[in-house]
């Protein structure tokens, strides 16, 4: 394969693929037998030296004597995208899979290209639009696909994409929430972020928790028991593991089947119902559903970048309340409420070079 990226090319890059690294991790549009082992890219030296420290230093030194520079253990697709981006000739978005984007990041990091430059960020925005629009509305339901986009959105500083994807994963992932790395490299991953799904069980349990603090008469005892029984019937158990094994979205849908007729009530004087009996259960369940659906806006890249140990002002609760009138996103590129702000604060210290070098 030979690709010309500049009309007046003065340098040729030969990329040689590492077969072992690609074993079992082949890009979606390439068959093993048709995959080239190497490719020649005719490039402009000045473009590479402008965009990359690594190329600038190496072209002055050890590479100067050769006209063709051979780069070993590369992904052909990753190099094609990376060199194409900086020569304003990236391949058609339709030929690039999420896996190829990961290889592009790997090459970009290896050769010291800045992912926050205008060219790579604009390219990624265009590719992401294509990749998501091409799948229609269904892309948001494809958990494997969206979890593969998580790290690329982080790397290319795509705040809107990162927000949408983290929100989708929190609401739709059964069990643990995580990224999906389609390439063999273990070095590429997100900083550890902690997103808890505990809000829903807390909301469902709160109703009985408050009741248990008061007087327990026969009616309340029967009522609490039948409330738990009804939640169990629709497979939503606030005290069990159900909530952690299923997605929040599924649990919220199951709550549609909550039937207040199954709740036991004692025979009261109709004019003197107790506090348990006088609750509007339909309203209560609907308000829990509404509250949970609107709770989490997805994670914010700006908040994630400000580590509590390095920028305590950013995390000053009182300052946010007083100076910004409770606006938790006044210094961010995206709109979000307090839960997003809070979950960004609750993350572990990052030691990943893909994060700290930026």
Nearer to Zn ion, 162 or 276 (CB): 276
**Residue spans of beta strands (DSSP E) within the chain:** 2-4, 11-17, 38-43, 68-74
Q: Does 177 bind Zn ion (CB under 5 A)?
A: no
Q: Does 40 bind Zn ion (CB under 5 A)?
A: no
Shortest Å, Cβ 249 to Zn ion:
24
The interface with Zn ion within residues 247-276 (CB under 5 A) comprises 274, 276
- Select the residue interacting with Zn ion from 45, 302, 327, 338 (CB under 5 A): 302
Nearer to Zn ion, 15 or 332 (CB): 332
Question: Would you state the structure tokens that stand for residue 76, as one six-digit string?
Answer: 């052909």
Stretch near Zn ion under the rule CB under 5 A, chosen from 132-140, 143-151, 157-165, 329-337: 329-337
Nearer to Zn ion, 150 or 236 (CB): 150
Q: Does 303 bind Zn ion (CB under 5 A)?
A: yes
Q: Does 208 bind Zn ion (CB under 5 A)?
A: no
- Select the residue interacting with Zn ion from 82, 149, 200, 219 (CB under 5 A): 219
- List residues bridging with 41 in a β-sheet: 3, 13
Nearest Cα residue to 210 out of 195, 198, 223: 223
Stretch near Zn ion under the rule CB under 5 A, chosen from 150-158, 213-221, 305-313, 345-353: 213-221
| Gap between the Cα atoms of 274 and 219, Å rounded | 8
Stretch near Zn ion under the rule CB under 5 A, chosen from 76-84, 152-160, 185-193, 212-220: 212-220
- Select the residue interacting with Zn ion from 6, 183, 188, 300 (CB under 5 A): 300
Stretch near Zn ion under the rule CB under 5 A, chosen from 19-27, 88-96, 187-195, 322-330: 322-330
CB 277 within 8 A of CB 268: yes
Q: Does 224 bind Zn ion (CB under 5 A)?
A: no
Stretch near Zn ion under the rule CB under 5 A, chosen from 94-102, 169-177, 179-187, 325-333: 325-333
Nearest Cα residue to 66 out of 149, 10, 141, 123: 10
Cα 184 to its chain centre, rounded Å, is 20
Helices (H) and strands (E) in the chain, counts: 17, 4
| Gap between the Cα atoms of 156 and 206, Å rounded | 41
Q: Does 277 bind Zn ion (CB under 5 A)?
A: yes
Helix ranges (DSSP H) in 29-87: 45-51, 53-60, 76-86
CB 182 within 8 A of CB 102: yes
Question: Would you state the structure tokens that stand for residue 258, as one six-digit string?
Answer: 């909550």
- Select the residue interacting with Zn ion from 3, 69, 193, 332 (CB under 5 A): 332
Nearer to Zn ion, 76 or 299 (CB): 299
Measured N-to-C along each axis, helices 143-155 and 159-172 cross at an angle, to the nearest 10 degrees, of 150
Binding residues for Zn ion (CB under 5 A): 219, 274, 276-277, 300, 302-303, 329, 332
């Amino acid at each position: 394969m030979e690709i010309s990226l500049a009309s007046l090319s003065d340098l040729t890059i030969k990329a040689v693929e590492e077969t072992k690294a690609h074993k079992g991790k082949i890009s979606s549009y390439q068959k093993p037998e048709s995959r080239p082992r190497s490719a020649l890219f005719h490039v402009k030296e000045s473009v590479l030296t402008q965009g990359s420290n690594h190329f600038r230093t190496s072209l002055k030194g050890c590479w100067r004597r050769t006209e063709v520079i051979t780069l070993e253990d590369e992904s052909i697709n990753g190099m094609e995208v990376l060199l194409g981006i900086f020569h304003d000739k990236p391949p058609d978005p339709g030929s690039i899979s999420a896996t190829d984007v990961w290889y592009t990041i790997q090459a970009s990091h290896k050769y010291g290209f800045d992912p926050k430059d205008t060219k790579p960020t604009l390219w990624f925005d265009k590719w992401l639009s294509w990749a998501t629009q091409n799948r229609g509305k269904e892309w948001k339901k494809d958990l494997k696909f969206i979890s593969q986009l998580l790290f690329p959105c982080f790397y290319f500083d795509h705040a809107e994409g990162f927000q949408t994807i983290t929100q989708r994963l929190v609401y739709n992932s059964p069990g643990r929430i995580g990224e999906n790395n389609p390439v063999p490299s273990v070095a590429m991953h997100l900083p550890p972020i902690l997103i808890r799904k505990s809000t829903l069980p807390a909301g469902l349990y709160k109703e009985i928790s408050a009741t248990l603090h008061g007087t327990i008469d026969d009616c309340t005892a029967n009522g609490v028991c039948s409330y738990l029984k009804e939640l169990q019937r629709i497979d939503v158990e606030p005290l069990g593991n159900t909530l952690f094994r299923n997605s929040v979205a599924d649990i919220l849908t199951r709550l549609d089947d909550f039937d207040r007729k199954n709740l036991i009530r004692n025979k009261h004087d109709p004019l003197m119902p107790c506090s348990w009996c006088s609750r509007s259960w339909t309203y209560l369940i609907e308000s829990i559903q509404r509250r949970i659906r609107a709770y989490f806006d997805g994670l914010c890249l700006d908040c994630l970048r400000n580590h509590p140990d390095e920028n305590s002002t950013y995390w000053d609760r009182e300052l946010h309340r007083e100076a910004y009138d409770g606006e938790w996103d006044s210094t961010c590129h995206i709109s979000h409420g307090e839960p997003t702000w809070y979950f960004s604060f609750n993350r572990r210290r990052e030691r990943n070079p893909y994060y700290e070098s930026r």
